[in-house]
A = this chain, B = another copy of it.
Amino acid sequence: MSNWVRMIAALFAVAVSEGAAMAQSDPLPSWNEGTIKNSITDFVARVTTQGLDFVPVAERIAVFDNDGTLWMEQPYYFQLAFAFDRIKALAPTHPEWKDRQPFKGLFEGDLKAALATGMKGLLDVVAVTHAGMTTDEFSRIVEDWTKTAQHPRFKRPYIQLVYQPMLELMDYLRANDFKTFIVSGGGVEFMRVFAEDVYAIPPEQVVGSSGVVKLERTADGVIKLIKDAKVEFIDDHDGKPVGINRFIGRRPILAFGNSDGDQAMLQYTAAGPGPRFLGLVHHTDAEREYAYDRQSHVGKLDKALDEARERGWTIVDMKRDWAVVFPHERLAIQPAR
C-alpha cells in the first residue's frame, strides 16, 4: 500500500468508527433502562475491553435456551403444536387413529385424555410425526408448517412469536464477536429449519434433543438419512452441559434460560473461571404474553429461580424490563431515534 492510501485509510477508519458509534448508541432499544439492561452492557464492555476481565474472541461463547427464552412456549411447546397439527394432517390416511389415544383426544380437542397416555402416548406421537422419513423430507414438512400454522391466541405464525429484546441481545453479542448458540430441549432437526432465518443462528450452532438417524442406500447406491423413532439424546436439565460439551466443546461465558431445565446449563457456565453472565427470563406479563413460574406445567421455573436469587444471577422481569415483547410491536412503534 502506498503512503497516500494508508493516510486515507486511517482517516476513513476514524470517520467510520465515529459513524458506527453514533448509529449504535443503543443496541438494545427494546430493553427498558435499568439494572438489568446495564448488567448486560456492563458485562459485554468488561469482556471486550483489554484488562483483567478481557475474554479472547474465540472464547466468547453465548448459549440460549429456545422455548420460553427466545420464543414463546405457551399454552404448550410449539414443537408439540407442530406434532398435533401434523397428526391432524395425516389423519385421513390413518382411520385406525380415530378410536385410539392419544390421537382420539387430539382430534376431539380433549388434550387431557391425550396427555393421560403419558410417555408412551408421546412416543407414539413422535414416532408418526418425527420418524419414518428422510431428514430432508422432515425439514420440508417443518418449513411448510412454520409458514401456515398459527398460534391459537396471537393468530400469528409461531416463528413471529419470538422475543424482540432477545433478538437484539443476540445481535449485540455478535456485533461484539460473540458466537451465539441455541442449547434447547427441543428437537435439533426441528429448530434448524428456522433458526437461521429467525435468529441468525446457522444449523451447526443449534444444539438440541435428537432421535437416532439411520443411513440407508437406495438401489442405485444413493445415501439417505432416515429419521428413526428412537430417542438418541435429551438436551435438557443435566443433558445441557453434556450437549454443550459434545457439540460446542468449550464452556460458555454467557447463558440465558427461563426454566429449571436450564439450571444445569447456567451452573455449568457459572463454574468456569473469569467473568460470567447468567440470565433468566421470568415470564411476568400475562397481558402482553403469559405469567407463569413455579406452578407451570410448561417451562416450570422454581429451583432455578431460587438459585438465581441466591447467586445474584440476572433475572429479567418481562413486564418491567422489556419495552416490547415481539418484533411486530417494535415495527408498530416509533423508531427509537
Q: List chain A positions with a Cβ less than 8 A from chain B.
A: 1-2, 5, 8-9, 11-12, 15-16, 19, 58, 135, 179, 181, 188-189, 192, 196, 202-206, 210, 213-215, 221-223, 225, 238, 241-242, 245-250, 264, 267-268, 271
CB distance from A244 to the nearest CB of B (A): 9
B202 and A204 contacting across the interface, CB-CB below 8 Å: no
Give bound CA distance, A135 to B32, whole Å: 40
CB-defined contacts of A264 to chain B, threshold 8 Å: 215, 223
Tell which of B5, B16, B206 touches A16, judged by Cβ atoms closer than 8 Å: B5
By the criterion CB–CB under 8 Å, are A5 and B1 in contact? no
Interfacial chain B residues near A11, Cβ < 8 Å: 8
Q: Which residue of B lies closest to A243 (CB)?
A: B213
Q: How far is the CA of A147 from the CA of B169 in the complex (A)?
A: 40
Pair A213/B242 contact, Cβ less than 8 Å: yes
B16 touches A249 (CB 8 A): no
Contact B8 A221 (CB under 8 A): no
CB < 8 Å neighbour of A5 from B12, B205, B215? B12
Contact A241 B215 (CB under 8 A): yes
Given contacts A1-B19, A250-B203, contact A241 B221 (CB under 8 A): no
Query: Which one, B188, B222, B248, B267, contacts A203 given CB within 8 A?
Result: B248
Q: Kindly state the separation between the CA atoms of A202 and B241 in the bound complex, as whole angstroms.
A: 18
Question: Which residue of B is nearest A11, CB measured?
Answer: B8
